[in-house]
């Protein structure tokens, strides 16, 4: 068990908590949205702040970064678009009558969800509203988007002839316990998915397999057929609200207020792993190269071997909840309500994981020849070192 030191860098430019962190598609920039009402643009090359976006009249709830434009939404009821080079505000999208808590950019569309019980669609290049989706009885908390051509066969598309002007659909999750699917072109509700008994906090879409996953405060995750609206499975083992979801290679990872993450086989519904050691709710998670990274309300980020569930590292240094994490070029970025963006080097853990996978494959190959399988993992983590050697301690457990 060793101590690999502190964060590579601590970026403390914000004057309030960071609510979200977005990575550009090309990986060159990061965007942070803060309680201080501003967003900041960071270079992944030098970890320096290269942009400061000011203009919102209240805190920023969420942000999204494209290669050439940044988008922020706020408690001031508006969404803004920014030029990432000049920092100029290019557009202000007005129309919501309460806090805008989520945005999603897809194709030429900008979608937004609000406490005003509506979702809306805007033109990315213009400030005008294209469509309003009205029907939820409470706040719209989460969004997903897909095209019907990704999930419908040709004969099924013919049945939806009136909607063929645009094949795009928006999925919304709400505190009214429902998930709704909407035709973007008309604003018509295509499906209402009923079954949850608590607020829907997160959505993950698997369009090629026609599946939607929803996590709720009712402690369950549910799987839906997005064409028929049929509920396929209910995952019930969590003892707290489902806060975040990640889908990788037909494995579903769920982070919960019960202080655990669970891994499920999507095709069977079997829970195959539980990741423990968190001392508060799991607020965010990200899978990378066989490693599951988590952020928690206990102000720590953690790295687990995704297959064995063994805790490999704890990243200490934040003072409050970690709201979002991103990974790029074997650097882990963590954004917290303490107002800091911290950057951690994860090259060592990634290399060790690759070596471990090679050994496992080799051992499996030898054992298959002998007709028996060896024990590949020691799941006994052991006693966790709790002493504090500084504000930015990283504890290695493998």
Q: Which has the minimum average pLDDT: 3-17, 116-130, 355-369?
A: 355-369
Task: Count CA within 13 A, CB hemisphere, residue 388.
Answer: 5
Strand segments (E) across 308-388: 311-315, 322-328, 331-336, 341-345
> Does residue 1 surpass a pLDDT of 80?
no
Q: Which has the minimum average pLDDT: 40-54, 154-168, 180-194, 383-397?
A: 383-397
> Does residue 382 surpass a pLDDT of 50?
no
Please count the other Cβ atoms lying within 10 Å of the Cβ belonging to residue 24.
Answer: 20
The domain of 261 spans: 9-151+166-356
Secondary structure of residue 398 in the 3-state scheme? coil
Q: Is residue 4 part of a domain?
A: no
Q: Is residue 304 part of a domain?
A: yes
Q: Which has the minimum average pLDDT: 141-145, 296-300, 360-364?
A: 360-364
Q: What is the mean pLDDT of residues 241-246?
A: 98
Q: Is residue 370 part of a domain?
A: no
Q: Is residue 185 part of a domain?
A: yes
Q: Is residue 395 part of a domain?
A: no
**DSSP line for 251-283:** EEEEEETTS-EEEEETTT--EEEEE---SS-EE
Buried b vs exposed e over 162-192: b needs ≥16 C-beta within 10 Å?
A: ebeebbbbbbbbbbbbbbbbbbbbebeebbe
Q: Is residue 372 part of a domain?
A: no
Residue 80 contacts residue 72 (beta carbons within 8 Å): yes
Q: Give the per-residue pLDDT at 364.
A: 65
> Does residue 122 surpass a pLDDT of 70?
yes
Q: Give the per-residue pLDDT at 61.
A: 98
> Does residue 163 surpass a pLDDT of 70?
no
Q: How confident is the model at residue 360 (pLDDT cuts 50, 70, 90)?
A: low
Q: Is residue 385 part of a domain?
A: no
Q: Is residue 379 part of a domain?
A: no
Tell me how many domains the chain contains. Answer: 1
Q: Which residue has the tokens 């408690």?
A: 75
Q: What is the pTM of this model?
A: 0.87
Q: What is the CATH number of the domain that holds 257?
A: 2.130.10.10
């Amino acid at each position: 068990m060793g101590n690999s030191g502190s964060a590579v860098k601590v970026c403390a430019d914000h004057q309030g908590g960071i609510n979200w962190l977005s990575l550009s598609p090309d990986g060159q920039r990061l965007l942070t949205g803060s309680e201080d009402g501003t967003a900041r643009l960071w270079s992944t090359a030098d970890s320096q702040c290269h942009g400061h976006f000011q203009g919102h009249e209240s805190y920023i709830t969420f942000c999204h970064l494209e290669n050439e434009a940044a988008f922020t939404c706020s408690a001031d009821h508006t969404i803004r678009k920014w030029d990432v080079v000049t920092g100029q505000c290019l557009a202000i999208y007005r129309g919501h009558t309460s806090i805008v808590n989520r945005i999603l950019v897809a194709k030429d569309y900008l979608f937004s969800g609000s406490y005003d019980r509506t979702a809306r669609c805007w033109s990315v290049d213009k400030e005008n509203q294209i469509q309003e989706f009205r029907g939820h009885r409470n706040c719209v908390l989460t969004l997903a988007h897909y095209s019907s051509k990704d999930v419908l066969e040709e004969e099924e598309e013919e049945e939806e002839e009136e909607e063929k002007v645009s094949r795009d659909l928006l999925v919304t999750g709400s505190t009214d316990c429902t998930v709704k699917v909407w035709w973007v072109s008309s604003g018509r509700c295509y499906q209402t998915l009923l079954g949850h008994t608590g607020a829907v906090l997160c959505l993950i879409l698997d369009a090629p397999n026609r599946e939607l996953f929803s996590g709720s405060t009712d402690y369950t995750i549910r799987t839906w057929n997005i064409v028929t609206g049929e509920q396929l499975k209910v995952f019930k083992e969590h003892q707290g609200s489902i806060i975040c979801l990640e889908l990788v290679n037909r494995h579903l990872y769920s982070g919960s207020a019960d202080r655990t993450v669970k891994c499920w086989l999507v095709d069977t519904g079997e829970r195959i792993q539980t990741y423990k050691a968190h001392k508060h709710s799991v607020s965010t998670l990200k899978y990378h190269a066989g490693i599951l990274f988590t952020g928690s309300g206990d102000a720590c980020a953690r790295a687990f071997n995704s297959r064995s569930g063994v805790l490999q590292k704890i990243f200490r240094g934040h003072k409050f909840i970690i709201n979002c994490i991103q990974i790029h070029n074997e650097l882990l970025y963590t954004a917290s309500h303490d107002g800091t963006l911290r950057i951690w080097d994860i090259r060592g853990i990634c290399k060790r994981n690759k070596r471990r996978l090679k050994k496992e494959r080799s051992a499996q190959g030898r054992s298959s020849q002998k007709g028996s399988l060896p024990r590949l993992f020691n799941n006994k983590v052991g006693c966790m070192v709790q002493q504090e050697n500084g504000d930015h301690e990283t504890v290695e457990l493998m």
